[in-house]
């Protein structure tokens, strides 16, 4: 399946949706077009032929049941740049089954110190050890007869995208837990984790530094017009890009 994305938020949402459904293996690359050396349509056609991207939903389901992988491609024309972003995602029968695991099969091994700080605990892989991941990658390369270096979604460095001037990464986080004595009704998921985007820790430090500099200028300068406009622009950035659970929590903190 091929998805054409108009902007980064759509790309991020599409990636999150596909990973949630088991597309755990990926490769990402950018094609520069300013010199006219690359024909985007030819690249898409080549990838479509190699990875069978034109399969119907029924054909994809049948392939998974037969023990074969399926692929998705997300193509984004990067705004203000003569470049295109390609994200190729692969789902195997094993990753598809793992994505459906229920709450009883997944446990968190994250320290309580990290949990109390971020309010959400990052989950460690349950069955994905190096041997299993290596076997899956070999299976993908042999099936598609391609030596493309695919990455595993649960391994660091995580899959990342440029959210404007800051970079965010896709992570798997635990669901929020509510106290048992609460009388309010909350819908309980059959899984205790979900996928979300959050800003990298280094990007959070940049955001804090930028905010501190803006506030210092608001306090110290007599003419506060420019500093206040910069503050509004800083806040507006989060209104635009902090739309996923992970970076919403980071923005609120």
pLDDT of residue 98: 87
CA angle at residue 24 from 23 to 26, to 5 degrees?
Answer: 90
89 Cβ contact list (under 8 Å, min separation 6): 15, 18, 19, 23, 25, 26, 71, 72, 73, 74
Average pLDDT over residues 184-188: 57
Q: Which two tokens stand for residue 103?
A: 């709450």
pLDDT value, residue 111: 41
What is the mean pLDDT of the segment spanning 174-200? Answer: 68
Q: Which two tokens stand for residue 210?
A: 């930028």
Is the model's pLDDT at 179 over the cut of 70?
Answer: no
DSSP letter string over 50-96? HHTTT--HHHHHHHHHTT--EEEEEEEE-TTSSEEEEEEEEE-HHHH
Check: CB of residue 27 under 8 Å from CB of residue 72: no
* Whether residue 146 has pLDDT greater than 90: no
Tokens 């820790």 label which residue? 201
Instruction: For residue range 118-136, list pLDDT tens digits in order.
Output: 444 454 444 688 999 999 9
Query: Does the pLDDT of residue 160 top 90, yes or no?
Result: yes
Q: What is the pLDDT of residues 14-71, one digit of tens each?
A: 999 999 999 999 999 998 876 555 678 888 999 999 999 999 999 999 999 999 999 9
Q: Distance (Å, rounded) from C-alpha 143 to C-alpha 126? A: 25
Q: Coil, strand, or helix at residue 33?
A: coil
Q: How far apart are CA 15 and CA 9, in angstroms?
A: 10
What are the φ and ψ backbone dihedral angles of 113, each rounded to 5 degrees? Answer: -65, -40
At residue 182, the pLDDT reads 59
* φ, ψ at 75 (rounded to 5°): -120, 125
The pLDDT assigned to 147 comes to: 85
Q: Per-residue confidence at 9, pLDDT binned at 50, 70, 90?
A: very high
235 in helix, strand or coil?
A: helix
CA distances from residue 135 to 18, 60, 128, 132 in whole angstroms, order as listed: 21, 21, 10, 5
pLDDT of 187 strictly over 80: no
Burial of 13-41, coded b for 16+ CB within 10 Å and e otherwise, reads ebbbebbebbbbbbeeeebebeeeeeeee
Going from N- to C-terminal start, the domains of the chain cover: 2-177+189-252
Better-predicted residue by pLDDT, 112 or 47 = 47
> Is residue 250's pLDDT more than 60?
yes
Q: For residue 1, what pLDDT band results from cuts at 50, 70 and 90?
A: confident
Predicted confidence (pLDDT) at residue 114 exceeds the cutoff of 70: no
What is the residue-averaged pLDDT of the chain? 83
For the segment 191-239, what is each residue's pLDDT rounded down to a tens digit? 667 899 999 999 999 999 999 999 999 999 888 899 999 999 999 999 9
pLDDT of 112 > 50? The answer is no
| Spatial separation of the C-alpha atoms in residues 69 and 23, rounded to whole Å | 10
């Amino acid at each position: 399946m091929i998805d054409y994305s108009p902007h980064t938020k759509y790309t991020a949402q599409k990636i999150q949706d596909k990973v949630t459904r088991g597309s755990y293996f990926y490769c990402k690359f950018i094609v520069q077009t300013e010199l006219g050396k690359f024909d985007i349509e030819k690249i898409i056609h080549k990838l479509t032929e190699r990875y069978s991207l034109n399969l119907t939903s029924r054909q994809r389901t049948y392939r998974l049941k037969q023990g074969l992988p399926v692929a998705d491609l997300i193509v984004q024309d990067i705004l203000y740049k003569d470049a295109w972003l390609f994200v190729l995602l692969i789902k195997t029968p094993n990753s598809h089954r793992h994505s459906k695991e229920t709450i009883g099969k997944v446990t968190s091994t994250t320290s309580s110190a990290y949990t109390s700080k971020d309010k959400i605990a990052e989950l460690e892989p349950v069955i994905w050890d190096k041997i299993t991941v290596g076997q899956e990658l070999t299976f993908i390369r042999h099936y598609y007869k391609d030596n493309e270096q695919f990455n595993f979604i649960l391994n660091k460095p995580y899959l990342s995208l440029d959210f404007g001037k800051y970079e965010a990464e896709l992570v798997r986080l635990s669901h929020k837990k509510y106290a048992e004595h609460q009388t309010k009704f909350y819908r309980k998921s059959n899984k205790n984790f979900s996928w979300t985007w959050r800003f990298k820790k280094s990007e959070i430090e940049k955001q804090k530094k930028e905010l501190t500099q803006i506030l210092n200028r608001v306090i110290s300068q007599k003419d506060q017009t420019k500093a206040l406009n910069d503050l509004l622009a800083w806040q507006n950035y989060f209104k635009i890009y902090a739309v996923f659970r992970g970076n919403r929590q980071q923005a609120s903190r």
